[in-house]
A = this chain, B = another copy of it.
Amino acid sequence: MNISDVARETGLPPKTIRYYEEIGLIRPLRDTNGYRVFRQSDSHKLAFLGRARALGFSIEDCRKLMALYEDQDRASSDVKHLAQEHLTQIEEKIAQLQSMQATLRHLVRECAGDARPDCPILRDLAEG
């Protein structure tokens, strides 16, 4: 498979696939012309990475998850621990965004949004 084939298969852009090779997440073979040659196992790994990224795992977490995936002797506790930590971070991020959302919603509701200069949003930013 060439890069565009595996890009179609995995839904990842060719640029991203090249980047993943550059940082050592995958190691596709090379044809005599220098083209990357992707085995089914490479495509499989890329799909794995794509799903992990879609769940918000960092690249370094993805690297660890891949290593665990390939380690037949892993303990599921290691995987769970990683996922739990990530989940906690997501929940913190949600809480933070919800706090912004609440403030913004309130301010937007208060603002007349007409041609006059008076604005509670700017007042809030100016005075805290």
Contacts and interface: CB of A to CB of B under 8 A. Distances in A.
A55 B71 CA distance: 43
A119 B114 CA distance: 56
Interface residues of A, number: 53
Prevailing SS type, chain A contact patch: helix
Nearest to A126: B48
A103 to B, nearest CB: 6
A104 B83 contact: yes
Interface of A: 44, 47-48, 51-52, 54-56, 65, 68-69, 71-77, 79-81, 83-84, 86-87, 90-91, 93-94, 97-98, 100-101, 103-105, 107-108, 111-119, 121-122, 124-126, 128
